[in-house]
Amino acid sequence: MSSVVDFEEAGEQAIRDVRDKDPLNYLRLIAVMVPKPQADLSGRRYSDEDVADALATAREVAAELNRRYGLCIEGNGAPEQTPGLPALPQAE
């Protein structure tokens, strides 16, 4: 018997049973069965202006976080020493 025939004969009831008796696997089943939207970005080109706008927005958000929380947004490439913890040895 094929799985299509199995489902046609008892599929709806089987899904109901899983929903009632095993909610975790029911959610897994639904996650597999529901089609996922596919974003087609093939061939999508971003203009220099799009990239510049996105970068400016990211910098504005980072500057706001820095203003509010004092986060460092510009690194210097050197590891910082953490008080109370020894520094890791440099890789060879």
* Rounded average pLDDT over 65-74: 68
**Is 73 a residue whose pLDDT tops 60?**
no
Q: What is the 3-state secondary structure (H, E, C) of the chain?
A: CCHHHHHHHHHHHHHHHHHHHCHHHHHHHHHHHCCCCCCCCCCCCCCHHHHHHHHHHHHHHHHHHHHHHCCCCCCCCCCCCCCCCCCCCCCC
pLDDT band at 2 (very low <50, low <70, confident <90, very high): low
pLDDT of residue 56: 92
17-68 residue pLDDT tens: 888 998 888 888 888 888 888 777 777 788 889 889 999 999 888 888 778 7
